[in-house]
Structure 1
Amino acid sequence: NEANSLSQGAEVLSEKVQQQAAAVEETSATMEEMNAAVQNNTENASQAAEVVERVQTESEQASQVMSRTIEAMNSIQDSSNEIADIVTLIDSIAFQTNLLALNAAVEAARAGEHGRGFAVVAGEVRALAQKSADAAKDIKHLIDSSVQRIGQGTKLASESGEVIQGITDSINDVATMIHQINTASQEQAEGISQVHQAINDIDSATQANASLVDQTSDSAQNMRQQANELNENMAFFKTNHVAPMSMTTASKPAYALVNTRQVASQPTRSVTKTAQKPQEPANSGSDDEWSDF
């Protein structure tokens, strides 16, 4: 019974260890897949960090270009304002020239025949002054329009610069987060690699335990088989020896059993003395026994 219990326990333990080995092997495969996925994520994070660094550099360059553009437009606006002032001065000079030409024409008219030529010159000067004044007004109008547009462009450039600066700041934040993700992914990959190695060690130990349990199960089965064979042999001996003794005992009366027990309880030397006595005839008492039978 104990051999059977030991064999059954060894078989159950072998099944449990095999199930545990299969579970550990599946866990090891899952950890290996997870490790590969984390390695892939780490590589992707590294590539994303490189891309973000390039975008960060380009955004900083764009921000610098936009700053220089705003400075250039502000300079153009200042130059346009100076040109507008110059045109205003030209318009004022043309107006004063027109007044002087008008006065010269009046004086030429007073001079009569002697001032006729001077009157013609004064008229031409007045006409040129008027043309200069008209041209100055047109230039001033164009410059005012240009200054207004330059002001709008400068405002838009400033807003664009602020937007680019905000994008640059966001890219810097993204770069920082990606760097942190990359670092965390590397640490996670190292941790998973260590866990994977530990699971492999557990798998190896479990396989070794499974092998030992199989050996124990085989030994238990052999022990059970030997125990069964021993039980069969014991049953065989009991059948061959106990049964004739019981038949002889049953054929003898009760006093014979008592004498037999007394003889068996005597020392060995008394048995030897009894053996030295002359034997009785073989047929003594046999007729009575057969008749009783």
Structure 2
Amino acid sequence: MTEANAFVNNCQNITEQFGVMINRATAAMSEIERSSEAISKITNVMSNIAIQTNLLALNTGVEAARAGEAGSGFRVLAQEIRDLANRAGNASKEVKELVETSRGQVLSGVTIMEEAGHAISTIISSVADIGDHLKAIAEAASEQATALQEVNNAVSTIDQGTRQNAAMVEETSAASSGMAQQARQLKGLLNEFTLA
């Protein structure tokens, strides 16, 4: 019974530690989810900047075209700015897609960890119930052992009484035998007397 209790206690400790780890992992997943939301907001800002920069480059190109030959340097600069804005916009879009994919995976992970957390809570509760049952069994076994000891003592007392009774019967039998012999002797003596 002691080994069973030790085993149950060990199981309970392990499942509780596992529960703590799952809680930590769930908290980490939640932090990752918050970070991905922040990154998503940043990529939205980057997309807006890229759009505004593209518009600015377009306006610069229009103004450079109006300036004619004098604006040719601005046209090259406007094209470079437009290319840079497009690259920034595309990079922002790719980052946003990656973040959305990561968020989906994180949400899936959070769901799995929550389910694992519920499962481990059930296991911890079940192990605690087993421990309670084992304690009840140990108490019942102890009570039965006490009752058996009392029965043993009673049987021992009865056995002792039976032996004493047997000795008394032997003594009574011996005394009866002696009395019978004395009665015969007395009868023999009485037979010797003649009554007138």
TM-score band, normalised by shorter chain: 0.7 to 0.9
* 1:128-178 Cα deviation digits (max 9, x unpaired): 111111111111001001111111111111111111112212222222221
2:142 is aligned with 1:186 = yes
Structure 2 CA distance, aligned partners of 1:88 and 1:137?
Answer: 9
Aligned residues: 189
Q: Provide structure 1 residue ranges, at least 5 long, that are not aligned to the other structure.
A: 1-43, 235-263, 266-293
Which residue number in structure 1 is paired with residue 133 of structure 2?
177
CA deviation after TM superposition for structure 1 residue 216, in Å: 5.1
The percent of aligned pairs where both chains have the same amino acid is 37
Once residues 211 and 145 of structure 1 are traced to their aligned partners in structure 2, the CA distance between those partners, rounded to angstroms, is 97
- Kindly state the Cα deviation for residue 226 of structure 1 after the two structures are TM-superposed: 5.6
SS in 1 for 2:90: helix
- In structure 1, the partner of 2:73 is 117
Q: Write the distance in 1 (CA, Å) between the matches of 2:85 and 2:133.
A: 70
Structure 1 residue 222 displacement after superposition: 5.6
SS at match of 2:159: helix
The aligned amino acid for 1:69 is A
Q: Given the alignment, which residue of 123, 131, 145 partners 2:101?
A: 145
| Pairwise CA distance, 1:103 | 1.8
Which amino acid is 1:52 matched to?
V
Q: Does 1:90 align with 2:46?
A: yes
Match of 1:239 in 2: none
Q: Distance in 2 between matches of 1:170 and 1:85?
A: 44
Q: What is the rounded CA distance, in whole Å, between the counterparts of 1:125 and 1:207 in structure 2?
A: 119
Matched with 1:58 is 14
Distance 2:51 2:60 in 1: 14
Q: State the one-letter code of the partner of 2:18.
A: A
Unpaired runs of at least 5, structure 2? 189-194
**Aligned residue type for 2:104:** Q
User: More displaced, 201-210 or 103-112?
Assistant: 201-210
What is the CA distance between 1:90 and its match in structure 2? Answer: 0.5
Describe the SS at the equivalent of 1:185: helix
Could you state the TM-score of these two structures normalised by the residue count of structure 1?
Answer: 0.57
Residue number among 143, 160, 163 corresponding to 2:119 in the alignment: 163
C-alpha distance in structure 2 between counterparts of 1:63 and 1:172, whole Å? 14
Q: Which residue of 1 aligns with 2:62?
A: 106
The Cα of 1:204 is off from its aligned counterpart by 2.7
Q: Which amino acid aligns with 1:150?
A: V
Cα distance between partner residues in 1 of 2:68 and 2:153: 122
- Aligned position for 2:153: 197
Distance 2:69 2:81 in 1: 20
Q: Highest Rg: 1 or 2? A: 1
| Cα separation, 1, equivalents of 2:166 and 2:86 | 115
